[in-house]
Amino acid sequence: MPQRILVVDDEPHIRDVICFALDKAGFATTTARNGAEAMMAVGRGGVDFMVLDIGMPEMDGLDVCRQVRKSSNLPILFLSARDEEIDRILGLEIGGDDYVTKPFSPRELVARVKAILKRSNGSAGPDKVLAHGDLRLDRARHSVAAGEKEIALTGLEFSILEVLLARPELVFSREQLMSAAYGAGIYVADRTIDSHIRNIRAKFSDAGRATIITTVHGVGFKLSPDAA
């Protein structure tokens, strides 16, 4: 069964362009014209991914993301206008996985959807479980736990933590984390990685782990020695 993508935008032409590109790439698509329709579609189930416009009237994309994140880690790719930089960063900080700016390349959009889904679906490598003290990352189950507490991460957050946890003694640059999370050939801004790092820290802080990732100024990030 092809994965089903929900395309949410109040502009019919944008919905048509995105659906054509995704259908051609082998996905199944469904659409919503506004935030209320998007929430109803998610509530019905059967959605594997959402392409979500930020700038919609009434219930905008940010409000939709906030509502979805109360109960789901459904992968979300934001669409945003070039002059909405603050909204783009806020979108990542409230749980979006990535964003594409309008006007956009349909090919790039499809590539980003595939990259996010690849990470969200998880992988079972030779070491299915990575552990550091009582911090455990299970690749096969795509789950993370600190002691007895499960930490709900998005696909890209999971990928970033996986890289850091696999080599806790190393410092990783933003470029290395970008490549690990998104794959080769996809450019993302530094602040996109920074937003995901902040989200990971906040989720672990809520679970009682104040320090999980250390910033090495001028170099990058590493797993904190206190993470265990």
Per-residue exposure over 61-81, b if at least 16 CB sit within 10 Å of its own CB, e if not:
bbbbbebbbeeebbbbbbbbe
The DSSP H or E segment spanning 130 is: strand 129-132
Token couple for 4? 């089903």
Average pLDDT along the chain: 86
Tell me if 117 sits within 8 A of 3, measured CB to CB. yes
**Structure pTM?**
0.68
- Torsion angle in degrees (nearest 10) through CA of 157, 42, 88, 58: -160
In three-state secondary structure terms, 164 is helix
∠159-161-167 over CA atoms, to 5°? 105
Q: Which tens digits make up the pLDDT trace of 160-180? A: 899 898 888 899 998 888 877
What are the pLDDT digits (tens) for 82-134? 666 677 778 888 888 888 888 899 999 999 899 888 777 654 444 578 888 88
Question: Can you read off the two tokens belonging to residue 59?
Answer: 């219930």
Domains of the chain, start order = 4-120 (3.40.50.2300), 129-223 (1.10.10.10)
- Per cent of the chain over pLDDT 90 is 44
Non-local (6+) Cβ contacts of 178 within 8 A are: 186, 187, 188, 192, 193
What pLDDT band is residue 186 in, cutting at 50, 70 and 90?
A: low
